[in-house]
Structure 1
Amino acid sequence: MQPTAAVFHEEQYFDWKVYALIGTLEILCGAAILWWTHRADVDGLIAHAWSLEFGLGLFAGLGLPFLLIVSVLHMTTEATADLVTVWYGWVPIYRRTIAMAEVKSCDVVTYRPLLDYGGWGCRRRADGDRAFTARGDRGVRLTLPDGTHLLIGSQRPDELADALARPPRPDAA
């Protein structure tokens, strides 16, 4: 049996401002750590700046967290005839798969990320509704059997809704 072919595939990155904010915070934290550890001894800091320990510490303390965070800030949506899967990261750290047979309805919507869900990313409201978004303010809202909604953010929501509305194809025997 062959795997079902994807009828929709979309990869989204978070807005550049998110990456800039993370980079700025990393630089500020690194500067604060350097200042704290050397107590503003600029001469000692400059003398130590070319050592192997300093370079490795700087890379491990600032570079690795930045790379890990940036690698997570990537959302992929894939729909087949009978499933829709959303995951975050190049190596999927978080994955959610929904069987289309369980979806009651599917609607293209415009939403307010900050007001409706508190921002972008994997979000859950108090009423049980969930959102998987990376950028923008458009997506597809799925109504699930328990009455809750799942919003999947997309830069191409009409295409995603069309792909999810397709009837499943009969399996070849």
Structure 2
Amino acid sequence: MINRPPVAIYREDQWFSGWIYAGLAAIAALAVGVVAWHVDPATPFLGWPGWRELPLAAALCLSLPPMLVVGLLRMTTEVLPTDLRIWFGLLPTYRHVVPLCEIRSVEPVRYRPLADCGGWGIHRCRNGERVFSARGDRAVRITLHDGSTVLIGSQRPEELARALDQAVRNLI
């Protein structure tokens, strides 16, 4: 018998906002531009031909990895019959799992990512609430049986809340 993974009841993939990618590209272009501006191709750098390319290579090596990481970064939210899973990255670099049996209530909400939580990504707000978000100001607030709360950013919070509520009721 083949052991198949459970089928997702709900799935949402969110990419970070375009201005984040544009900002990283601008920083990389600035780093490369500054290095290229200061390199004089007529004279060897540090007295050895070939060293002149070193600052340019360093600028590229330091700016490309963050661009690739963020460029490939997305937030995926899945509701399965037994748990809620959130992960970041095409190849998951961070995972968080909430068993559905621990969920007491769910509600779609609006929040202020910058003012309340310091931005998007993985955060803990001033009130202690865990936040997982990639873009926008809409989310689902999940209250757990221990009284803690988790805020899951979503572009479709009403649909996510319905899927979670239905999955939790099906466990009972």
TM-score (norm 2): 0.81
Aligned to 1:15: 17
Partner amino acid, structure 2, of 1:60: C
How many Å separate the matches in 2 of 1:55 and 1:125? 39
Partner amino acid, structure 1, of 2:79: A
Asked if the contact 1:82–1:168 (Cα under 8 Å) also holds between the matched residues in 2, the reply is: no
Aligned to 2:121: 121
Aligned to 2:157: 157
Match of residue 29, structure 2, among 27, 30, 45: 27
How many Å separate the matches in 2 of 1:115 and 1:90? 28
Aligned to 1:94: 94
Aligned to 1:144: 144
Count of aligned positions: 163
How many Å separate the matches in 1 of 2:22 and 2:43? 30
Structure 2, unpaired ranges of 5+: none
Aligned Cα root-mean-square deviation (Å): 2.7
Q: How does 1:27-46 map onto structure 2 within 5 Å?
A: 27-35=29-37, 38=39, 41=40, 43-44=42-43
What secondary structure is seen at the aligned counterpart in 2 of 1:3? coil
Aligned to 1:168: 170
**1:64 deviation in Å?**
3.5
Percent identity (aligned): 37
What secondary structure is seen at the aligned counterpart in 2 of 1:119? coil
How many Å separate the matches in 2 of 1:33 and 1:168? 60
How many Å separate the matches in 2 of 1:102 and 1:169? 11
Structure 1, unpaired ranges of 5+: none
What secondary structure is seen at the aligned counterpart in 1 of 2:141? strand
Q: 1:35 to 1:145 in 2, by over 3 A?
A: farther
TM-score (norm 1): 0.81
How many Å separate the matches in 2 of 1:33 and 1:55? 6
Q: How does 1:41-80 map onto structure 2 within 5 Å?
A: 41=40, 43-44=42-43, 59-72=60-73, 74-80=74-80
What secondary structure is seen at the aligned counterpart in 1 of 2:170? coil
**1:66 deviation in Å?**
1.6
